[in-house]
Amino acid sequence: MQEAARWQSAAASVIFRRMPTRPYILAESTWKTVDATPYEVAVLPWGATEAHNYHLPYATDNIQCDALAAEAARRAWERGAKVVVLPCVPFGVNTGQLDIKLCLNMNPSTQAALFSDLTHALEGQGIHKLVVFNGHGGNDFRQIIRELQPRTRVFLSLINWYKVGDRSSIFTAAGDHADELETSVMMHVAPNLVRPLDEAGEGRERRWNIGALREGWAWAPRRWTQVSADTGTGNPSQATVEKGARYADEVASKVADYLVELAAADPARLYADA
Ligand SMILES: [Zn+2]
């Protein structure tokens, strides 16, 4: 038994030694590589730590952000774009879920301070294009970027990955949390972390009883425990790994195109006559 354990650990270290590092992933890169690489674009995945119905883990948003940003960066890198994916920020705005155990809220003002610090670090190091790659609906970086942009020469932009693809061409059920889309993508990027779908709740979302809020032209943040019993909004029962792969491929392809174009772009010349 001990012999077998020793053999297994030796085999595991061989596997680790053989794993190539990805030069477009900062967490896997060493100083020598970083020092020699003229990065044009940094990508900052930003997720959340929160409950995702009964079948997806708390790190769902972070796992998806990391996987999709890495795949988009790989495709862009192979086309010559010097992009680097930064470590994911794992905490998002969860002010509507403070009463759900271990939903770990980071306030928008704290996010703004963190984002500003990272932007200024990159600015001093000559990396002048930064893309926030967001995976959590409660994170809203537009106002943060509007405030920060005039104070930095780093060109800031935002991608919400779950809005990049054509949702309606792949998924049938509505929803926006632990739903068919998110479950399918997790089946594709981290199948070992998805519980069997017969364990999932239906993700039934209770609606506002005030008309304007129900119709959506008046807005207020949702109080999650009153909206959903299982913490999901959207029925995940029709999720499949094939749907997740299709959507992830569409996201990676479009984001890679953006990164290639952005890497080559002159920030002083971002507009043209029609
Ligand atoms: Zn999520």
CA 177–ligand 1 middle distance (angstroms): 5
CA 59–ligand 1 middle distance (angstroms): 8
CA 255–ligand 1 middle distance (angstroms): 19
Helix axes 141-148, 108-124, angle to 10 degrees: 50
Q: Scanning the structure block, which residue is given the tokens 């896997």?
A: 28
Q: CA torsion sign, 35 to 41 to 43 to 44?
A: positive
CA 136–ligand 1 middle distance (angstroms): 6
pLDDT given for residue 15 in this prediction: 57
Separation of alpha carbons 248 and 64, rounded Å: 9
CA 104–ligand 1 middle distance (angstroms): 13
CA 162–ligand 1 middle distance (angstroms): 10
CA 188–ligand 1 middle distance (angstroms): 15
Q: Scanning the structure block, which residue is given the tokens 């106002």?
A: 143
Residues whose CB falls within 8 Å of the CB of residue 141, separated by 6 or more in sequence, listed in order: 46, 111, 115, 132, 134, 158
pLDDT at 35 over 90: yes
Q: What is the mean pLDDT of the chain?
A: 94
Mean pLDDT along residues 215-220: 97
CA 226–ligand 1 middle distance (angstroms): 18
For ion ligand 1, residues whose CB falls within 5 Å: 60-61
Mean pLDDT along residues 206-225: 96
Label residue 141 by pLDDT band (50, 70, 90).
very high
pLDDT at 8 over 70: no
Mean pLDDT along residues 3-14: 59
Separation of alpha carbons 86 and 77, rounded Å: 14
CA 52–ligand 1 middle distance (angstroms): 6
Contact 61, 92 (CB under 8 A): yes
CA 102–ligand 1 middle distance (angstroms): 14
CA 49–ligand 1 middle distance (angstroms): 9
Question: What pTM, to 2 d.p., does this model score?
Answer: 0.92
